[in-house]
A and B are shown apart, each in its own frame.
Chain A
């Protein structure tokens, strides 16, 4: 069974075996507004938990994307680079950002579950 967790930087992460799929939450897209530019990490690079692993830009401003866990980047979603508006349309499903082969499964335990994140998101936008 796959497990979805959330970070305080508004990323979601879905773990299947040792492969994690990472994207930004619907709440994040609502705060950002229309996304018009995306930059992803390099395939094959190693990223560290809480380090930057990409950029999204709205018409208003640029924001870093962080990785909630450490690992090696094994796949990228080119379709959101070609058409960043897809992130606004389907952020928590088809508009994933990158996939990692994760280094340390225990890092998942530091993240929030859905209910915890919903409360966190509500409070952080209040």
Chain B
């Protein structure tokens, strides 16, 4: 990996920016990578589609913004509609499967679907949706290590919810590992 660009997207309140913060911290503090995170600061960050961008590299990052994302995570229909066209062939598209209705089969992309909200509700609260999705992203993209992600959580989620957030992360991660083996089996 020389440089990898990831866009996290969804709607305001889903913890999208938190996802980018956790991943950025994990990469730059515990995975020995360089990571630069930028986020939507316009009115779009307050209610409708919301996005955060992470540029990851083995060397110092110069241009801080996304030029062509290799990974897109969309946890809402609006975010998916807005951002999926910018994915190049072979890019990874991760969607919340109950919230996003796909417009095509995306045969030219690596498509990954996760019922993150449903899993979070099973764990007791849909607030953990973002951590389920992050665990899933960690497993299927391998951009960041699960170990680094778990280390990054303290300080970025409230202390009293740390355990349950870790559980949510692991739930998503395991589902991602299963998804990979299924994809391998059908390929």
Is the pairing of A and B real? no
Residues in chain A within 8 A of chain B (CB atoms): none
